[in-house]
Amino acid sequence: MPFIPPVTKAFMLICVGLFCLPFIYAPFGQMNFMMALWPLNSGRFEFWQPISYAFLHGSFAHLFFNMFGLWMFGSELETIWGGKRYAQLLVASALTAAVAQLVFTLLMGSFAPTVGASGALFGLLLSYGLLFPDRVIMPLFPPIPMKAKYFVAIFGALELFLGISGGSGIAHFAHLGGMLGAWLMINYWRGSRRR
């Protein structure tokens, strides 16, 4: 089993645990309902949701791919940055993803909730591309070896295109918001080092 550092492991265990709880004890489904990110105009929005939604997932495939990406990109980033800085980036990405999704649902008049660690994962993806731009990775989709910087650029452009075209039920602007949060956090750290 490959090494998984503590913050990444904790995040993964919480996500898997919250996904499994409603199968073990049905009333936990109501807790998940309250932890999802509800639109501001839905009447169900609560202050904790811009963080709690990131620990929930709508299906096994959703959970699997997010946890796989978290392990693939997050483990190395946490090893390099340390747990505190890595956790800061995860939180920043999840929060900016939530803000982007709240703005989008408000503008679109949507009342659908959002769940998933995808915003935080896209923040990790951008961070990985910035730290290791020339490292060749083999994504699952498409299974073509490519440099990390191209992979990030392709996925960012794809999210923007799919978000504008709409209708998929996937929170594409939340993904872009997660990338923005990571970019802002990394630039903040770089600015702090220069002072």
Contacts of 128 (CB under 8 A, 6+ apart): 73, 76, 77, 148, 152
pLDDT in tens, 99-113: 999 999 999 999 999
Q: Can you tell me the distance from the alpha carbon of 36 to that of 105, in angstroms, rounded to the nearest whole number?
A: 14
Looking at the chain, the whole-number percentage of residues with pLDDT higher than 70 is: 97
pLDDT in tens, 110-126: 999 999 999 999 999 99
Q: In this model, does residue 32 exceed pLDDT 90?
A: no
Q: Under a CB-based contact definition with an 8 Å cutoff, are residues 119 and 174 in contact?
A: yes
Name the pTM for this structure: 0.93
- Cα–chain center distance at 112: 18
Place 30 in a pLDDT band, splitting at 50, 70 and 90: confident
Q: Is 132 exposed, middle or buried (0-12, 13-18, 19+ CB in 10 A)?
A: middle
Q: What pLDDT score was predicted for residue 142?
A: 74
Q: What pLDDT score was predicted for residue 83?
A: 97
- Quick one: which of 121, 132, 145 has its CA closest to 63? 121
Span between the terminal Cα atoms of the chain, in Å: 41
pLDDT in tens, 4-21: 999 999 999 999 999 999
Q: What pLDDT score was predicted for residue 31?
A: 86
Stretch 137-163: mean pLDDT, rounded? 90
Number of domains in the chain: 1
Q: Is 38 exposed, middle or buried (0-12, 13-18, 19+ CB in 10 A)?
A: buried
> What's the alpha-carbon Rg for the chain, to the nearest Å?
16
Q: What pLDDT score was predicted for residue 168?
A: 74
Q: In this model, does residue 58 exceed pLDDT 70?
A: yes
What CATH number is given to the structural domain containing 133? 1.20.1540.10
Q: Under a CB-based contact definition with an 8 Å cutoff, are residues 177 and 101 in contact?
A: yes
pLDDT in tens, 163-182: 988 767 889 999 999 999 99
DSSP 26: T
Residue 1 lies in a domain: no
Q: What are the backbone dihedrals phi and psi of residue 114, each rounded to the nearest 5 degrees, phi first?
A: -120, 140
Mean pLDDT rounded to a whole number for the chain: 93
Domain encompassing residue 82: 6-194
Q: Under a CB-based contact definition with an 8 Å cutoff, are residues 102 and 40 in contact?
A: yes
More confident residue, 2 or 36: 36
Residue 93 lies in a domain: yes
